[in-house]
Copies of this chain bind each other. A is one copy, B any other.
């Protein structure tokens, strides 16, 4: 008989978005696979009133579970922090552990200000991200090939290799102008082992995405079940041709099958030496 997994409630609490607390906390928790974590994120805990409400919620969870929940905090406001620390919890503060040592290393006092990192730095940064997202949307699936001039990178791949999500991720998080060029059946027929003419001037920006045919079949079958498009034979043929193109053009390429979108995006960024804006 399977033993039920132990459960533990985890709070991510911050005066701003709690994205840092979640990211860091989840990275730590991913190292413990024998426990099921119930996760509660409480962003914008930035007043004493909200802190008191939060304490009530933590104490209630603690009472009901009969054990202390874990609180991952990036709280900076001293008063709020003290209130939460006083609740029935195991309190782990991510800033506390490092700001002291960092102050020593850098020889400066830290600002202790809330919401610095995921807040709005300046309008230019916001505008350039919006612009990069518009760019990715506007040049998606090769609709606007004249835009390739402005591209930092152009992803090539057959349908459903994750080109669009990866382009959007690169735009959102790094302000990169990421375009994509779909290797459709017609394209694959036409270009064989030469770069499509529209891409020839941009050869150094090209990066391929490929995938295992079994996985591609699975993804396509969800979209168009029973179609030729989703058949294993078709998936395999397209992939073999795409990879032949990558090889003959000597393009860098990645197999995305067992990768998350973040991993693919960072691999593209790293390999193509793209700027992180």
Contact = CB atoms under 8 A, between A and B. Distances in A.
A261 B127 CA distance: 11
Given A23-B24, A95-B27, A267 B44 contact: yes
Nearest to A103: B32
B165 A129 contact: yes
Contacts of A127: 219, 222
A155 interface: no
A79 B98 CA distance: 24
A99 B28 contact: yes
B266 A17 contact: yes
A3 interface: no
A227 interface: no
A99 B43 contact: no
Interface residues of A, number: 73
Interface string A131-167: 0010001000000000000000000000000101100
B101 A27 contact: no
Contacts of A263: 16-17, 115, 118-120
B168 A172 contact: yes
A117 B26 contact: yes
Nearest to A271: B44
A107 to B, nearest CB: 9
How many subunits of this chain does the assembly comprise? 2
A92 B92 CA distance: 17
Interface stretch (A33-41, A178-186, A191-199, A202-210): A33-41
Interface string A104-136: 011010111101111111010011011001000
A97 B28 CA distance: 11
A133 B164 contact: yes
Query: Which of A16, A113, A137, A165 has the most chain B CB within a 10 Å cutoff?
Result: A165
Contact of A33 (B24, B43, B111, B215): B111
29 contacts: A19-B266, A20-B24, A23-B23, A26-B117, A27-B74, A27-B94, A27-B116, A27-B118, A28-B99, A30-B116, A31-B99, A31-B110, A32-B108, A32-B111, A35-B106, A35-B108, A70-B102, A70-B105, A120-B259, A123-B215, A127-B219, A127-B222, A129-B165, A130-B165, A133-B164, A133-B165, A168-B168, A168-B172, A172-B261
Q: Which 9 A-B pairs have the closest CB atoms?
A: A30-B116, A31-B110, A27-B117, A17-B266, A20-B27, A120-B260, A30-B117, A118-B262, A23-B23
Given A23-B117, A130-B165, 8 more contacts: A26-B117, A28-B95, A31-B113, A33-B111, A41-B276, A120-B263, A130-B219, A168-B168
